[in-house]
Structure 1
């Protein structure tokens, strides 16, 4: 019996000072930027930091890519997503290592969140595309055709770089759009690696383009170019407002996934120990650097001290240090500036009378942007730490008086991205969930499903539009009504003539 030898995988090498345009890496002259490992403070790479001079060429490439890709069949586009997923799995160890070195995410979390989850998003999006209603009759007998919107400008964040790229890239490609990706300045390597994966997967030239540079220079030049039909952005509320204003003036679509100040309501009948322990762990994923972290723990007022002590014990159990070690459970902040922001929040909270139960230390480490996870109690409801997004490992415990007050407190925020409800009675938890103004509500600690198709996005200032599942695909298509369309009534021969880019005709 002959054993099958494992296929040898050639490592991907990213050329320095290069961007990915029109299907190839191009070395560019001019400004560069250092990529710094936040755990060691060492420079790990040098990348191009381009500006307005690149905009014309990347837009031209994306327009050419769109003309080709939008005419490709749905089945071919879906197959391409599966090939990208295959490439990501082959190079998963490399990609996880890059994510860890760029943002300090513990390697176990990087494998799960920056490789495994993006692979599942790619594959689920491919499956959805194959069943999507590209061309259907409505009740009036008209054909409702969904077509690719056009060139997409995607501006992505640093905190979950690969996942956030894929949540935009997968539905855009499935829809038939081309894409220009401008990643966060702190995490360009993961974006360039994704470009290399797309190239390995055989994505045609100009369909996927990645350019690196400062948001205030390159990002602004791309935004003001108006050479795109959709802009999709994940990041701060302030920048999101600006992008939305520019998009509105240009009359182009904008999907915006912005900030959060997510509450976790622990109802009186819930198991306090389990609810608090789980909420702390959910809050401190990626050192709390995630927009849907449950950063406000709402408990019955008479149990706030007990909840704070449970939370403190969990916070103190974290193993903080080298994120490349399997035993590490929390890495550093992404930058010195982000660590200073977190420290500033804690300092303000203490000055305003809140109690720092544990955490906030930053002097235990000789290098790296580390800070110990903090639990805050006795903060007023309108204090800065209870209202504003911290984006770090800080959990604030707040007391409420009765179920109605808990809902009021949960909704007392300009954000509405995510929330959690804990109860011994799932029916009661479900009823409370429906009173919360948030795009996602998680009951009794449930996390992202194994099949990542449930919509993600926010109410209020948390943004516009949705990611994941069929709702994500909706963001990247235009809808055309063909009235008096005879083609669906002409038999199978005519059916085959329907816009091949829109996929097979499905009779309603």
Structure 2
């Protein structure tokens, strides 16, 4: 059975109500690499009705029952690691090793952490004469992005199912193959019919229908701020909970006592990971003004050291960006930086010279003296870094906090007291000190136009719970 042309609803693979299909494009070759069914509001309605019908019995099951299913699901996904990595490389263009170790490996690590959180979570607490109960919020609609497709499914589906909610998932129509493999694994595990449902489609049809559906009590969305605003508006009429992890433009403040060579080099590498398609990437590198020229030389060398090419080659550091729209957006923003007078110190417009096809972007670094550039204010979502000097730490903090986003921030210093002091002053939902490894127990989300709510950690689990106060309980 070709599950790519079906939806998983009520425990079965079924055809779309209206036969509509979309070709998938391999970003490395620009060739068709698959075809999926595209859903409509009618398909969403089927999935939501199935989820609603399953809710009462599933949410009434003990946490041990739900965790047993999820543990088996994790084992199934682990056994499909190669398939999942291949699907991600095929649709997003991530190098094979990155797809396996980071895209899939990171998702499985986050899955395991959420199981631990759910297993130890206390759903009832008491204060005074009141009992406070945490209960599943109900049917949830989950809309995931294309840049870390499996990880974002795990971030949303696992806590929702662990909490006792039932799910309608809409993955990105650009990278849906890993979601289909996820649904196949869920079917093999034997979740009760209607507990987990998958409908592929675009935002205008399926995403809109999920956001507006009166039986969905919560929508969790990861993607652009523009799309997040539209989802919030669509959800407003039914007063459902909306959690959003949106855009970012994260500052990386390198303090004057840092090892500049290491701080800049690693900062470039972190910025360019996943071809720069990471919402919390440190895309604005702030360095002390007296060392600005030195930093430019280091950053250019680090960017030029990145090998761009075929994601199937083991020597490749950066594959293509995910799709033609993203490629064109990045090219336009690079050109705007050049047109507005920013100093181009590495990369530039167009593909790397050796690559005639594919959505490949040159690893690009700009240097600017002030913030009045589109490349400083806008999220580029590609392998593009901007260096900017600061006069003192307060100046750096002021620049870092001046934008509309507040997803992440970075601080580099061997002096932890100084680094912590700067971190505490940044208007960001997450601050990383000295490029740490990801912590699967840390809540993730943003301030300002970077979103509402949190994913991951205890707070990410609690997003799928409603609060009930029982007063006079004692």
Q: TM-score, normalised by structure 2?
A: 0.97
Matched residues, number: 471
3-state SS of paired residue (2:8): strand
Moved over 6 A (4+): none
Q: CA deviation at 1:54?
A: 1.1
Tell me what 1:119 maps to: 108
Tell me what 2:77 maps to: 88
C-alpha distance in structure 2 between counterparts of 1:31 and 1:263, whole Å: 42
Tell me what 1:310 maps to: 298
CA contact (8 A) 1:296 1:395 kept: yes
C-alpha distance in structure 1 between counterparts of 2:240 and 2:209, whole Å: 16
Matched, 1:284 2:272: yes
CA contact (8 A) 1:33 1:48 kept: yes
Matched, 1:100 2:89: yes
CA contact (8 A) 2:443 2:454 kept: yes
CA contact (8 A) 1:78 1:127 kept: no
Q: Structure 1 residues 46 and 291, CA, compared in 2 at 3 Å: closer, same or farther? A: same
Tell me what 1:8 maps to: none
Q: Deviations over 1:226-277 (max 9, x none)?
A: 2200100001111111212233332110100000000000011111111101
CA contact (8 A) 2:170 2:201 kept: yes
The answer to which of 399-408 and 24-33 deviates more is 24-33
C-alpha distance in structure 2 between counterparts of 1:78 and 1:121, whole Å: 15
Q: Deviations over 1:463-503 (max 9, x none)?
A: 000111110111000111122235xxxxxxxxxxxxxxxxx
3-state SS of paired residue (1:217): helix
Q: TM-score, normalised by structure 1?
A: 0.90
Describe how 1:358-397 pairs up with structure 2 within 5 A: 358-360=346-348, 361-362=350-351, 364=353, 365-378=355-368, 380-397=370-387
Tell me what 2:454 maps to: 466
C-alpha distance in structure 1 between counterparts of 2:301 and 2:187, whole Å: 47
Q: 2:410 aligns with which of 402, 409, 420?
A: 420
Tell me what 1:346 maps to: 334
Q: CA deviation at 1:363?
A: 5.4
Q: CA deviation at 1:66?
A: 1.5
3-state SS of paired residue (2:371): coil
CA contact (8 A) 1:419 1:442 kept: yes
Q: CA deviation at 1:197?
A: 1.4
Describe how 1:37-76 pairs up with structure 2 within 5 A: 37-76=26-65
CA contact (8 A) 2:168 2:197 kept: yes
CA contact (8 A) 2:249 2:377 kept: yes
Structure with max Cα Rg:
1
Q: Structure 1 residues 278 and 14, CA, compared in 2 at 3 Å: closer, same or farther? A: farther
Tell me what 2:122 maps to: 133
Describe how 1:249-264 pairs up with structure 2 within 5 A: 249-264=237-252
Describe how 1:474-485 pairs up with structure 2 within 5 A: 474-485=462-473
Q: CA deviation at 1:18?
A: 0.8
Q: Structure 1 residues 392 and 282, CA, compared in 2 at 3 Å: closer, same or farther? A: same
CA contact (8 A) 2:369 2:389 kept: no
Tell me what 1:17 maps to: 5
3-state SS of paired residue (2:134): strand
Q: 1:444 aligns with which of 427, 434, 448?
A: 434
CA contact (8 A) 1:355 1:379 kept: no
